[in-house]
């Protein structure tokens, strides 16, 4: 079967949103190689700021259910981006709560399977080098 971007959830997609990051990504190996939580926290804080700006600029609506596909052209293997880098994006996408209070609005309630129906990573040689295109399917 030939992979097509639009073959999954076709009958359920309400809208398609695209967020593009151009720059160096962090791989799972880089993120988890450090035993120091401060290093990981610094990486998370850096990408949280970057992704929040990109998400704000994209003008996304609130989404009850969604799927995220990452298309990229970079040095990393798909499995080396799928966990850490996509997780950092999903964390920026979701609403943050502390003791029942919303401390960051976000665009989705959570990244649990109840809300996030799919995450995929696909190498795309047609993109410019070091380009990461997050396609968000609003379901």
Question: pLDDT grade, residue 28 (50/70/90)?
Answer: confident
Q: Is the pTM of this model over 0.95?
A: no
Architecture in CATH of 15-138: 2-Layer Sandwich (3.30)
- 25-39, 59-73, 114-128: least confidently modelled range: 25-39
- Which residues, 6 or more positions from 58, have their beta carbon under 8 angstroms from its beta carbon? 17, 18, 19
Q: What mean pLDDT value characterizes the chain?
A: 86
pLDDT tens-place string over residues 47-77: 999 999 999 999 999 999 999 999 999 888 7
Q: φ, ψ for residue 83 (rounded to 5)? A: -80, -70
The first and second tokens of residue 2, run together, are 């030939």
């Amino acid at each position: 079967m030939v992979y097509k971007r639009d073959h999954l959830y076709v009958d359920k997609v309400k809208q398609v949103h695209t967020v593009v990051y151009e720059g160096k990504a962090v791989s799972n190996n880089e993120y988890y190689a450090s035993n120091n939580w401060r290093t990981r926290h610094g990486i998370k804080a850096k990408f949280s700021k970057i992704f929040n700006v990109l998400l704000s600029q994209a003008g996304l609506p609130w989404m009850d259910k969604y799927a995220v596909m990452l298309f990229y052209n970079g040095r990393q293997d798909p499995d080396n981006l799928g966990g850490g880098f996509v997780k950092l994006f999903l964390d920026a996408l979701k609403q943050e709560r502390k003791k029942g209070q919303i401390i960051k609005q976000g665009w989705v309630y959570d990244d649990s399977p109840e809300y996030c129906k799919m995450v995929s990573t696909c190498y795309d040689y047609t993109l410019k080098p070091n380009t990461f295109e997050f396609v968000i399917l609003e379901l």
